[in-house]
Amino acid sequence: MADPSEANRLTSASARGDLTEVKDIIQNGADVNERNMFGRTPIQVMKLGNPALAQVLLQANADPNVLDPLGGLTVLHDTARDGYADTLRVLVDYGADVNIQDRLVAQFFQDHKGWEVPTQEASLEEAADVVTHYITFSLESQGRLARP
């Protein structure tokens, strides 16, 4: 097993976007898929707006599809949500799976049989209807929306 302090150092450097330190730690043999004390890997906590950092981690065999232990999200979900297109391209180029659904999306479609993820061919009204229902479901499941 790897030294937990190395995993903590690498995730901290990744979160700060410290490319030089990340490279040094990796060159000294750190496992890029080792989880820190909070159960997360360096790619899960990396500074999302830093595509060069993503590339260094991925070149060292970081798993771009590792799921967050709480929400079931991947770094691709976070990157897409926050609008970092350059980092998104790097992740996809290195094998990030664009078809992984987070737990809330999966639960929504489990609970709403017959609903489908809107496709590019869907009308704006169809897409808006699904998105509106999903947002309501998401907020209700988090206790952030009370029904009258």
- pTM value is 0.70
**Predicted pLDDT of residue 144:** 55
Domains in the chain: boundaries: 4-93, 103-141
Query: Based on the number of CB atoms within 10 Å of its own CB, is 10 exposed (0-12), middle (13-18) or buried (19 or more)?
Result: buried
**Predicted pLDDT of residue 134:** 56
Low-confidence ranges of the chain (pLDDT < 70): 1-4, 102-148
Reading the block at residue 98, the tokens are: 């664009």
CATH code for the structural domain at 4-93: 1.25.40.20
**Predicted pLDDT of residue 82:** 83
**Predicted pLDDT of residue 130:** 59
Nearest-angstrom CA–CA distance, 9 and 42? 9
Half-sphere exposure of 42 (CA within 13 A, CB side): 36
Alpha-helical runs (H) found in the chain: 4-16, 19-27, 42-45, 51-59, 75-82, 85-93, 103-111, 124-141
**Predicted pLDDT of residue 1:** 43
**Predicted pLDDT of residue 99:** 80
Nearest-angstrom CA–CA distance, 37 and 84? 27
**Tens digit of each residue's pLDDT (9 = 90 or more) over 57-86:** 999 999 999 988 877 888 988 888 888 889
- Output DSSP code: residue 112: S
